[in-house]
A and B are shown apart, each in its own frame.
Chain A
Amino acid sequence: MLRKEPLCLRRKDLFCVAIIGFHRAVPMTELSAHLPQFQHGQLTENFPDNHLCNTNDNSERRRHDNSERRRNDNPESETNGQPQNRTQQVVEQDEEDEELTLKYGAKHVIMLFAPVTLCMVVVVATIKSVSFYTRKDGQLIYTPFTEDTDTVGQRALNSILNAAIMISVIIVMTILLVVLYKYRCYKVIHGWLIISSLLLLFFFSFIYLGEVFKTYNVAMDYITLALMIWNFGVVGMICIHWKGPLRLQQAYLIMISALMALVFIKYLPEWTAWLILAVISVYDLVAVLCPKGPLRMLVETAQERNETLFPALIYSSTMMWLVNMAEEDPEAQRKASKSSTYDKQAAANQIQNEDADLDDGGFNPEWEQQRDSRIGPLESTPESRAAVQALPSNSQASEDPEERGVKLGLGDFIFYSVLVGKASATASGDWNTTLACFVAILIGLCLTLLLLAIFKKALPALPISITFGLVFYFATDNLVQPFMDQLAFHQFYI
């Protein structure tokens, strides 16, 4: 979701990470689904429309409150989860936000375009150069049926079963998270988050680095490698779960998303991958919009407890307020977050108010997943934002004491990158297909933001982009590629 509030890392984010690490592929999807939620996490109490953003949990609760406000607010600040002190501040800011949202529309879209593009570029570059990620080395246990069958019908059946199993695992884990959150097992959730992010930052990046070295035939000793991985991982843990420079944090989140997307691309067989993408979009749609959806329940529970759902892994374009996980005292957390902010104070205040630090705020993976799939609710339409953006430079956000950023769940990053990565790995049209999917996803992102501004309710961000991406993948690969091939052969230009 796009929130106006400053981004604030919450335990939810960590939770999401932990979940991912725990279950490899499966948690990742959940995570990613939840990640979006995180973004919403920042939703202020009144954002009921978190779903849009990705955060299911937040969205539910906050949606209603925030949606109106937030949407009109700057999309910039996707609060990571500061909803707490919002009430009063929110009320006052609502009016401001309404105006500000319009102003920050186009800028926020671009703030999302850049990291999404970067993540996709990293994934596509890796796929094209490192053959490890396109080599078939078995499948995950969540997709036990092989696709090397004799008949097409058997293959289709196997892939449907694989997708069904994967989605069921995701749903089960989401429900488990909701249950954990409901029964206040925050420590479990926290531990899970930490383990997940440890796994991602150390183990997966170690594998990635090893494969890159193999590809380029670089000789490396274990001592240097250990030093590099250690530094990378520790700085990553600090940046993501505690405090760090904004750009570094953003870079780590992008790298993590790319790593997870690469794992998905490697271990999911073709048809299964496309089916899973399609089903995840539908699931996201259902989970966000249905009253009995797990993400919605998560958000409502969080709202009842007046806790903030912090985004476990949410990409924020503004300074992120990191929640100190060890901090149990909201006051202390506020102070901590204040000190960690090096951006707008206003945002800090908002974040501070949240006392969700105590528990991870029920950032269950579902929530995150939802968030993930959804971009924060954009209050403004691209046009309105563009309008504001286009105003003379003296209306730049930098002069705004409450500069807000945009937040997007990492799950969205992951699934977008999986789509584009798979397109570049397996398409016969190769670069044309990759480019087409890339443009389709960006336009889906734009449209989602636009719809958010129009409908002013939580909408899932994953479905539109993934649908466009899938349609363009299959259309470009099967229809456009033969046409362009023939044109290039004769050197005709259209």
Chain B
Amino acid sequence: MTLAVFFGCSFIAFGPALGLCLFSVVREPLRVIILVAGAFFWLVSLLLSSLVWFIAVKASDPGDEPLQKGLLIFGVLFSVLLQEAFRFLYYKLLRKAIEGLVALSEDGCSPISIQQMAYVAGLGFGLMSGAFSMINLLADALGPGTVGIHGDSQLYFLTSAFMTMVMIFLHTFWGILFFHGCETQRWWEMVAVIFTHLIVSGLTFWNPLYLGSLIPSYLLMFATAAWAYVLSGGCTQNLLRSLQGEYLVQPHVQRRSPARDPASEG
């Protein structure tokens, strides 16, 4: 494995997230704190789900392969549910934080909105999830070895990188959706997030049949992205305008469209 593999996979996996961070999170101290706290919450959820899995494994027969795999699948599903539970807990915490911020601010409005918090929290979850999935792989990619020498797929690193990227994006969008569902009391949005998360994790059970896991995940990611975009106040007009660069070139056009929500991207 070469440096090219290392850099390629790391940029595939973390490039977009890094861009998101650099352009929207790093400059604002409050967002950085929310990002790190989101990562922490994800970590705690992982810890608890690993504990449950560990206990289950220790209580079972280590030689029974199908049982171990079944326990692993159970561990994955339980971890997904726990992650969403912690996302809900984090939402509760951020809600309280907003009240505190409003109370402490000079003009009675919070310096950061719940939508922005949702975006950053989702990004925090995604980054930590991606980091935990990918970092050890990247470290191994720097060392000697041949991928798939025992007959496994040779695309292991590449597909892991792509899967990590899609998971990071998905976590970001799930954050937006979930928080929006909590805010507006639309429980189906939260259920949809949980359901989609379970589906995406379930799809990875088909690995190394990558067509079955990567492509549907990406499709789901685009669908979730569109939904999150719409929920954040975006509309196709704005999207077309931004693609055509109209916001930059013709600011007066913006004035004619008061309905545009500049906080779409948080």
Residue among B36, B75, B83, B163 making CB contact with A443, cutoff 8 Å:
B36
User: Are B104 and A102 touching (Cβ within 8 A)?
Assistant: yes
User: Are B136 and A432 touching (Cβ within 8 A)?
Assistant: yes
Q: How far is the CB of A401 from chain B (nearest CB, A)?
A: 18
**New contact pairs (13) apart from A390-B105, A429-B136, A439-B36, CB-CB < 8 Å:** A102-B104, A106-B29, A113-B32, A383-B100, A384-B104, A387-B105, A391-B106, A479-B54, A482-B57, A483-B50, A487-B133, A493-B133, A493-B164
Give the size range of A's interface with the partner. 35 or more
User: Are B201 and A106 touching (Cβ within 8 A)?
Assistant: no
Task: Please give, as numbers and ranges, the residues of chain A lying within 8 Å of B137 by CB-CB distance.
Answer: 488
User: Are A443 and B97 touching (Cβ within 8 A)?
Assistant: no
Contact with A along B198-222 (1 / 0, CB 8 A): 0011001101100000000000000
Determine whether B167 belongs to the interface, using a CB cutoff of 8 Å to chain A.
yes
Interface segment among B1-9, B16-24, B39-47, B246-254: the answer is B39-47
User: Are A440 and B106 touching (Cβ within 8 A)?
Assistant: no
* B73, closest chain A residue (CB): A492
Q: Which of B96-136 contact A (CB under 8 A)?
A: 97, 100-102, 104-106, 110-112, 128-129, 131-133, 135-136
Determine whether B141 belongs to the interface, using a CB cutoff of 8 Å to chain A.
no
Determine whether A388 belongs to the interface, using a CB cutoff of 8 Å to chain B.
yes
Q: Is the interface of A mostly helix, strand, loop or mixed?
A: helix
User: Are A491 and B208 touching (Cβ within 8 A)?
Assistant: yes
5 A–B pairs (Cβ distance < 8 Å), ordered by A: A382-B30, A385-B29, A387-B101, A389-B30, A440-B40
Q: Which of A380-428 contact B (CB under 8 A)?
A: 380-391
Q: How far is the CB of B88 from chain A (nearest CB, A)?
A: 17
Q: How far is the CB of B72 from chain A (nearest CB, A)?
A: 5
Q: How far is the CB of B91 from chain A (nearest CB, A)?
A: 16
User: Are B136 and A431 touching (Cβ within 8 A)?
Assistant: yes
Task: Please give, as numbers and ranges, the residues of chain A lying within 8 Å of B101 by CB-CB distance.
Answer: 383-384, 386-387, 390
Q: How far is the CB of B15 from chain A (nearest CB, A)?
A: 18
Determine whether A223 belongs to the interface, using a CB cutoff of 8 Å to chain B.
no
User: Are A493 and B29 touching (Cβ within 8 A)?
Assistant: no
Distance, CA A277 to CA B159, complexed state (A): 40
Determine whether B64 belongs to the interface, using a CB cutoff of 8 Å to chain A.
no
Distance, CA A442 to CA B156, complexed state (A): 33
Determine whether B10 belongs to the interface, using a CB cutoff of 8 Å to chain A.
no
Determine whether A165 belongs to the interface, using a CB cutoff of 8 Å to chain B.
no
User: Are B47 and A475 touching (Cβ within 8 A)?
Assistant: yes
Nearest 10 Cβ contacts at the A-B interface? A390-B111, A386-B30, A106-B29, A384-B104, A491-B207, A110-B29, A383-B100, A483-B50, A387-B101, A431-B135
User: Are B132 and A484 touching (Cβ within 8 A)?
Assistant: yes
Task: Please give, as numbers and ranges, the residues of chain B lying within 8 Å of A487 by CB-CB distance.
Answer: 72, 76, 133
Tell whether A492 pairs with B201 under 8 Å between CB atoms, given A386-B112, A436-B43, A439-B36. yes
Determine whether A227 belongs to the interface, using a CB cutoff of 8 Å to chain B.
no
Task: Please give, as numbers and ranges, the residues of chain A lying within 8 Å of B255 by CB-CB distance.
Answer: none
Residue among B132, B160, B204, B208 making CB contact with A432, cutoff 8 Å:
B132
Task: Please give, as numbers and ranges, the residues of chain B lying within 8 Å of A385 by CB-CB distance.
Answer: 29
Q: Which of A466-494 contact B (CB under 8 A)?
A: 472, 475-476, 478-480, 482-484, 486-488, 490-494
Residue among A106, A388, A490 making CB contact with B33, cutoff 8 Å:
A106
Tell whether A479 pairs with B29 under 8 Å between CB atoms, given A432-B132, A484-B136, A494-B201. no
Across chains A and B, the number of contacting residue pairs, with CB separation under 8 Å, is: 156
User: Are B39 and A479 touching (Cβ within 8 A)?
Assistant: no
Q: How far is the CB of B35 from chain A (nearest CB, A)?
A: 10
Give the size range of B's interface with the partner. 35 or more
Determine whether B230 belongs to the interface, using a CB cutoff of 8 Å to chain A.
no
Residue among A429, A439, A490, A493 making CB contact with B163, cutoff 8 Å:
A493
Q: How far is the CB of A380 from chain B (nearest CB, A)?
A: 8
Residue among B29, B79, B133 making CB contact with A107, cutoff 8 Å:
B29
Task: Please give, as numbers and ranges, the residues of chain B lying within 8 Å of A282 by CB-CB distance.
Answer: none
User: Are A387 and B111 touching (Cβ within 8 A)?
Assistant: yes
Distance, CA A253 to CA B76, complexed state (A): 44
Distance, CA A492 to CA B217, complexed state (A): 13
Task: Please give, as numbers and ranges, the residues of chain A lying within 8 Å of B83 by CB-CB distance.
Answer: 494
Q: Which of B181-210 contact A (CB under 8 A)?
A: 200-201, 204-205, 207-208
User: Are A480 and B47 touching (Cβ within 8 A)?
Assistant: yes
Determine whether B226 belongs to the interface, using a CB cutoff of 8 Å to chain A.
no
User: Are A106 and B39 touching (Cβ within 8 A)?
Assistant: no
Determine whether B256 belongs to the interface, using a CB cutoff of 8 Å to chain A.
no
Q: How far is the CB of B207 from chain A (nearest CB, A)?
A: 4
Residue among A113, A383, A491 making CB contact with B97, cutoff 8 Å:
A383
Distance, CA A476 to CA B102, complexed state (A): 37
Q: How far is the CB of A143 from chain B (nearest CB, A)?
A: 31
Distance, CA A413 to CA B149, complexed state (A): 44
* A480, closest chain B residue (CB): B50
* B104, closest chain A residue (CB): A384
Task: Please give, as numbers and ranges, the residues of chain A lying within 8 Å of B243 by CB-CB distance.
Answer: none
* A442, closest chain B residue (CB): B36
Determine whether B61 belongs to the interface, using a CB cutoff of 8 Å to chain A.
no
Tell whether A491 pairs with B54 under 8 Å between CB atoms, given A381-B100, A390-B101. no
Distance, CA A210 to CA B137, complexed state (A): 31
Determine whether A446 belongs to the interface, using a CB cutoff of 8 Å to chain B.
yes
Determine whether A430 belongs to the interface, using a CB cutoff of 8 Å to chain B.
yes
Determine whether A346 belongs to the interface, using a CB cutoff of 8 Å to chain B.
no
User: Are A439 and B39 touching (Cβ within 8 A)?
Assistant: yes
Determine whether A435 belongs to the interface, using a CB cutoff of 8 Å to chain B.
yes
Task: Please give, as numbers and ranges, the residues of chain A lying within 8 Å of B133 by CB-CB distance.
Answer: 484, 487-488, 493
User: Are B205 and A492 touching (Cβ within 8 A)?
Assistant: yes
Q: How far is the CB of B214 from chain A (nearest CB, A)?
A: 11
User: Are B40 and A386 touching (Cβ within 8 A)?
Assistant: no
Q: Which of B30, B80, B167 has the most CB of A within 10 A?
A: B30
User: Are B135 and A432 touching (Cβ within 8 A)?
Assistant: yes
* A482, closest chain B residue (CB): B54
